[in-house]
Amino acid sequence: MLAVRTSSRRLGVALAALAVGGFVLAGCAGSVSPSSSAPSTSEPGESAAVVPQGEPATVAADLAAPWSVAVVGGAVLVSERDTGDIREIVGDSTRVVGTVPGVVFGGEGGLLGVAADGDDGLFVSSTGPDGNRVQRFDVSGAPGSLALGDAETLLDGIPSARTHNGGRIAIGPDGMLYVTTGDANVPDLAQDRDSLAGKILRMTPEGAVPADNPFPDSFVYSYGHRNPQGIAWAEDGTLFASEFGQNTWDELNIITPGANYGWPVVEGQGDGADFVDPVQQWATAEASPSGIAVIEGTVFIANLRGERVRAVPVADPSTATEFYVGELGRIRDVVAAPDGDLWILTSNTDGRGSGPRDGDDRLLTVAVG
């Protein structure tokens, strides 16, 4: 059965965020039946909001604490946090493409985010001996027989800890590489612009500081983050990010260059001029938002503790509709599939939650419309 709920939170966004994207932030979403699409909230020329249609189908099963998904040369690759393996999905089974060397496992650390570098490369975020790091690997061979090359380290020494490692990595529409980092359990680092912890970082694909970054000679793109684990862009270039709160509020933010998102001074909406408020917030028991994806006019959010997929209209990100509540267990990532469907990556074998379900962990697919 398709479980659907709706929610709405008070919207408080700093003027800098309101200037980005050009859309109107207003209103509350109505109830959406399992068999119908959400009403369009888009302006003319914008993509309409879409929602999942029906029940997800399994693409791959029996994964071990999977964390992220990338498509390289037509092949689907999945990172496994606690093994260090990059797995390729081949038919109804998987094979190891390669193991990322030097990964330090423990708690929330390990092999984290992956992102494709064209058809022959893979960007990887992981925990190493000297902290979290960003590396690039050549990928050779044909789908079904891919192999992982040697590591090229682009950035290392990012503060790490058993928790709060961030770890999401993505190529933006500007061709730059974006990386989320947690505060490594030292909250004040999030406000220290000389630290790489508690930030969203931006770099060239070669690992250099872009000349147009907001702070000279710094990878820091935004700061004041506790543990962001999702980044994705809308069609108009608006950057959305999900973030774990501490005990009160988890967040969905619109990211603008150089902006301060408040942690640890503020958790959730602070209604202060010095910080950018989230466009939506949820009680931590209902969320723990990890990966996000944008498909047409909808931001989809994976939720771990909340065990649900949220669908947030880009045109009104103060509202959300919830799907599969409690049906799939913990959800680590959602991905825009090449065919336009939504991929869902579960996280029930990582030692948290109520334990594995039959076939866990799984990569699932569902159409949207």
Residue 29 pLDDT more than 60?
Answer: no
Region 238-259: mean pLDDT is: 98
| Spatial distance between the Cα atoms of 310 and 307, rounded to a whole number of angstroms | 10
Residue 302 pLDDT more than 70?
Answer: yes
Region 239-253: mean pLDDT is: 97
Largest CA distance in the chain: 54
Q: Residue 46 — pLDDT band, cuts 50, 70, 90?
A: confident
Region 179-190: mean pLDDT is: 98
At 69 the pLDDT is 98
| Spatial distance between the Cα atoms of 315 and 301, rounded to a whole number of angstroms | 16
At 45 the pLDDT is 63
Residue 127 pLDDT more than 90?
Answer: yes
Q: Residue 21 — pLDDT band, cuts 50, 70, 90?
A: very low
Those residues whose C-beta lies under 8 Å from the C-beta of residue 113, and which sit 6 or more positions away, are 67, 68, 79, 124, 125, 167, 168, 169, 170, 179, 180
Give 350-368 pLDDT, tens digit per residue. Answer: 999 888 989 999 999 999 9
Q: Pick the range with the lowest mean pLDDT from 4-18, 126-140, 205-219.
A: 4-18
At 44 the pLDDT is 55
| Domains, the chain | 4-366 (2.120.10.30)
Region 63-88: mean pLDDT is: 98
Region 147-154: mean pLDDT is: 98
Q: Residue 273 — pLDDT band, cuts 50, 70, 90?
A: confident
At 227 the pLDDT is 98
| Reported pTM | 0.89
CB 275 within 8 A of CB 262: yes
